[in-house]
Structure 1
Amino acid sequence: MASRDRTPPTPTDLPQALADATADKRLDVLRHVAAGCSISQAARQVGISYKAAWQAIDTLSNLSGTPLVERTVGGLGGGGARITADGLQLLALAAELARARQQVLARFAGGAIGEGGLGLRTSMRNQLRCRVLHCAPLASGDPTVQVTLATPGGAKLVSSVTQESADLLGLRAGLPVLALCKATAVDVSLASSKTVAGALEGRIERCAPGARLDEVVLALTGGGHWVGFAKHPFKGQVGDAAVAVLSPAALVIGLAG
């Protein structure tokens, strides 16, 4: 049984687990454990792997600052899991927030707030609404998954995520998501006739020179903006066509709703 010798969480710690826009499926795992399911049973109910289910619990516990599930010794399979009092409190808080959210959305029914990342706070300046085109492992048995996204302008972005993350997010073709990326992971260059895989095309809207790198803001084809950096001195001017390139490992996927 897990040790109870720990510092109790402060009242403000538990809500941190609900600030993550991808928490819903993780909370589903916790709900099934609260209902008496083992981790393996909870994983089957949610439709994810056993490993992903434990990742969900561990992530929520890390965000909460307190254990939400205790591993128990003995029983079939050598042990099980039991939700803690803090885990039950988190589920109660999640239910209350869901009710409040529905009340707010009901008041704004028909408005323009249905999709977006308004609840997501992150240092990543690049956030773009996209849709999943397809999601599949690069090879049989590979622990990583390649996710291809379509931007509003019709460009294709590729992200590399773990199978567990893809399962927890429920990634599938047609799903609306947010593509997120740190500006420091984006290389900007002037457009050329050569097609660059994984590039976003746009026109330079702003450029701020620096000592080593120049920060460049692109207005993307199809709408939206993307921020990146170019080696100083960057020769591009406002209005010039340019491309932003990033690696699949740098592109983070978040739920858009």
Structure 2
Amino acid sequence: MRHLRVIARLDIKGPNLIKGVHLEGLRVVGDPHEHALRYYADGADELLFIDIVASLYQRNNLSDIIKRAADRVYVPITVGGGIRSLADVETMMHSGADKVAINTAAIARPDLVGEVARRYGSQCMVLGVEAKRVAPGRWEAYTDNGRERTGKDVVEWVKEAVARGAGEILLTSVDQEGTRKGFDVPLVQAVCDAVAVPVTASGGFGQAEDIAAVAPTGVSAIAVADALHWKRMTLPGIKQHAAACGLDVRMEGPA
């Protein structure tokens, strides 16, 4: 029976937890710390914090938020947004992060992927991918919250990054993100087929049937934001649906 992790995704802008559609049209949800603690208590397998304006302003403001969360959360924490150097990774790890998700800086300088993997281990180096469909069966990697084209084919890019040392893929479908219309299953399938590292599908989760649709791809985790933020579904409820699909999920909450 294949294990599935359910990850609570928290997109941060300044001091606020926010949520958009297609990574745009952002609405304030509330205090990220309160939500992180609630998701942890409800049984999130991991927490994912993304500073969504960090690349724009060339800085990541999450260290204080991560420090507060790490004091009270005992599941892995992944941090992304504006991480451009080994020094930035060091700051996040000292703040309490277990993994870093790097997108823009990895595309700008792919050697960074190997540098992070060598210093901190491949398990720490998560490649963040923002994918947009450009043709049937083809997706282009984007940066800066789906605004900037890179010209890189998503499948080729994830293969290259894994060869360089990336130990995990955080795959966000910009087309599906915030729509509640389900994951981009062909995209997830293409990436899962291309690499032998864990893949987290993000963007589009809306209802229980979406888990059944994405499960056969071999995906290792799903990231959920909208459904949790607006309390349309709970983490135990999501996990019960996953179990009903024949997936192995951790049902108990924190000790």
Same fold (TM over 0.5): no
- Work out which structure has the larger RCO, using CA pairs closer than 8 Å and 6 or more positions apart in sequence: 2
